Every structure is written in structure tokens, then in C-alpha cells.
Homo-oligomer: A and B are copies of this chain.
């Protein structure tokens, strides 16, 4: 039995709350939100509060607020000697007010409020000041997923940086693909199976070995033709730079 208090009313808090309520061995002790309007209407109001000073002790406090607010919010938790963790990929553990036993519970996934989250495939990156607390965090996380990693604050920053490349930047390649299609009245949906295959391929193959295409083959004729077809200067610059980078990696 682990008693948990949730702080925050955003997407992460929302999904954690609902998953905790489904569990027999996790107890949702309290929810704090600055603005109670963000809290789902069907929750038991007796455990919901907007007075942070009124929070009682719990085995685990999860602070799911914006990165900038972590220090201030954790400082306002009055009850002493609690395990208080944040859920941010990009914030060091020591941003948690030093009066607490600090920890981090970082789930490497994007959450949308409208869509039910399948926690079972999400990697949980855990950090804590003490082994005892790390053990409790692991016990908690195992209710959600078996993909548990012990990751320190520096490694977590690295994961966050790598995630920008594999998620935000690859998505931007999809954006450019869609723009090129739109300019020439080609339905973007033609490319969707290829996008799926690209992601599937690196699930069992190193991306370096999965690479194909004109850059890798140094097919200069095709590369020149592609640069001619691109009318947008920034898209041309991106094409040249990434082509060069692919070739550098395969010398």
C-alpha cells in the first residue's frame, strides 16, 4: 500500500490520478491544485484542496506542475520529511526545496488530456536521494510500467535533448514533407505508411544501419534535382545540411 498525494491539475496529474484510482494497492490521499476548476468533476471532493498548507503526510508527493513552479510549490509543502518528486525531464532533482527527501519520476512520453494513456509502454526514469526512496519509487512505478530506469539528473537532461531530436525534429521533417505535398497537390496520406515503417524499423535495428536514400548513396544527380524542386530557401538549407551530416556519419 502506497499513499500518494498529487500536486497539479495538468495532463500528467490528470492521467496519474486516474491510474492511481484504478489500483487496489495505491491510495490517492490528496490532490492539491491552485485552481480547482482544472480538477475533474467526478473526483471525491473531500480529497481535493486548494490550500497547499493543509496537505497531510503521504508516502509519496508527486509534483506535476510547470518546470518554473517546482521550486516554489515544493517549498510551500509544510509537512516535514516527505518524499517529494517532480516529473520534469529538464529540471535537476535539487530544484525540489531542500527540506524534503527529493526525487524524480520522469515519464518519457507526451500526454494529451483527451486521450487515455497506455502507461505500460512508457519508460519511467527514476531518481532519488536515498536508496530507500528509490526503492519506493520503483515499487510505485511498477504499477504503471515494467520499463523502469534509474537515471540521474545529468542523464535525464541528455534524454530530454535526444528526445528533441527524435520527436520534435523528426516531426518537423514530417511537417516539411506535408508542405512539399501540399504545394504540388499530392495527398500527404501517401507518406503515412512510410512514416510508420521508419519508426518501426529502428525498434529492432540501429538507426545508423536503417539509413537509406540518395544522401547515403551519394546519388548526386537526385540530390541536385531535389534541391532544384525545393523552392523554399530554408528547406534547401535543411536538405543540404542533413544530407551532409548523413554522409559524414557514413564515411
Contacts and interface: CB of A to CB of B under 8 A. Distances in A.
B174 A207 contact: yes
Nearest to A227: B161
Nearest to A180: B162
A193 interface: yes
A171 interface: yes
Contact of A165 (B180, B207, B222): B180
A221 B203 CA distance: 32
A29 to B, nearest CB: 30
B163 A191 contact: yes
Given A165-B173, A167-B198, A173-B166, A125 B190 contact: yes
Contacts of A177: 162-163, 165-166, 207
The 4 closest A-B pairs by CB, nearest first: A199-B199, A168-B213, A170-B170, A174-B207
20 contacts: A108-B191, A110-B194, A122-B193, A123-B190, A151-B190, A157-B229, A162-B188, A164-B239, A168-B212, A168-B213, A168-B215, A168-B216, A170-B170, A170-B174, A176-B245, A177-B207, A178-B208, A192-B203, A199-B200, A241-B241
